[in-house]
Amino acid sequence: MKLEVSAKIVYEVISPSTLILNVQPLKSAGQFLVEECMDLNSQLKMTELFAVTGEKRFKIIEIPDTGSLVINYHAVVETEVRAVAADYLDDIPISVMPVSALSYLNPSRYCQSDKLYKFAFHKFGHIDHAFYKVMAIRDWIYANVEYSGGYTNAQTSAFDTITEQIGVCRDFAHLGVALCRALTIPARYYTGYAYQLQPADFHACFEAYIGGYWIIVDATKLVPLNGLVKIATGVDATDTAFASVFGNLQFVSLDVAANLIDAEFRYIDQYTAEQGYAYI
């Protein structure tokens, strides 16, 4: 499937600053980058970096002068979401997990899995197989947490959301990640573009490591899974923020878009468990 994604970000530069920008789709097995272009309204030094883990690439931009900074990013991406029959997703013992998955069992700033052991065990411990545990986590979050902006902020964490039960995609994803980790299922935070997201914005969901695959899970059930374009995965929102500012930039506006270029779109919805398939 071919998608065109774009982000326009405007800042007012108050003093010389450095900006780390994390808006470019990842180049991976499931994503092929057809073209991309990043335009700035002034000529600035940009460096592209790649995370050691291979889970994100980002640009560091040096901004020596004050004034308005306008960033226009645009890319065309070919994505392929693959279905895996749940029956093939065997539970993987700790002792044969790769190092890259093991590190995603640790609690993190916004996903305090160490405080959720009993809750997770009480609620999901009886369910056979990691895959069905994760589907139950997704459904519990969807059923119990109200999707609503304005209540949570940048400091809200999974430990808050599990009781406060209101939030946005970031909060849904943090809670999903934390509950998986509490059940010894490696899980990581996912950010990307999302086709059909209303209102248009960056989206967040999560991936759980099951049967040797990182399967994609979206507890908000807001968008089709095959309309996602991955920007990055990481421990939580801390290392996947679309922009990290060092200095003094005043945020002015953000416009995100994700449009289909292909003529046809076969919607793959969120109810994968019922259909017996996971998506990766």
Positions touching a copy of itself (CB under 8 A) are 18, 20, 45, 47, 49-53, 60, 62, 93-95, 99-100, 102-103, 105-109, 112, 114-116, 118-119, 122, 144, 146, 153-155, 159-160, 162-166, 184, 235, 238-239, 244, 246
Closest CA to 73 of 89, 91, 61, 55: 61
Angle at 233 between CA 240 and CA 28, to 5 degrees: 125
Nearer to a copy of itself, 66 or 100 (CB): 100
Instruction: State the minimum distance, in angstroms, from the CB of residue 163 to a copy of itself.
Output: 5
Instruction: State the minimum distance, in angstroms, from the CB of residue 96 to a copy of itself.
Output: 8
Nearer to a copy of itself, 107 or 211 (CB): 107
Query: Encoding tokens for residue 39?
Result: 């335009």
Nearer to a copy of itself, 36 or 164 (CB): 164
Instruction: Quickly tell me which residue has 């996602």 as its tokens.
Output: 228
Instruction: Quickly tell me which residue has 């700033």 as its tokens.
Output: 109
> Cα(97)–Cα(102) distance, rounded to whole angstroms?
6
Nearer to a copy of itself, 4 or 236 (CB): 236
Nearer to a copy of itself, 196 or 244 (CB): 244
Instruction: State the minimum distance, in angstroms, from the CB of residue 172 to a copy of itself.
Output: 14
- Bridge partners (DSSP) of residue 57 are 50
User: Please, are residues 82 and 279 in contact by the beta-carbon 8 Å criterion?
Assistant: yes
- Bridge partners (DSSP) of residue 7 are 73, 256
User: Please, are residues 28 and 228 in contact by the beta-carbon 8 Å criterion?
Assistant: no
Phi, psi of 163, rounded to the nearest 5 degrees: -105, -40
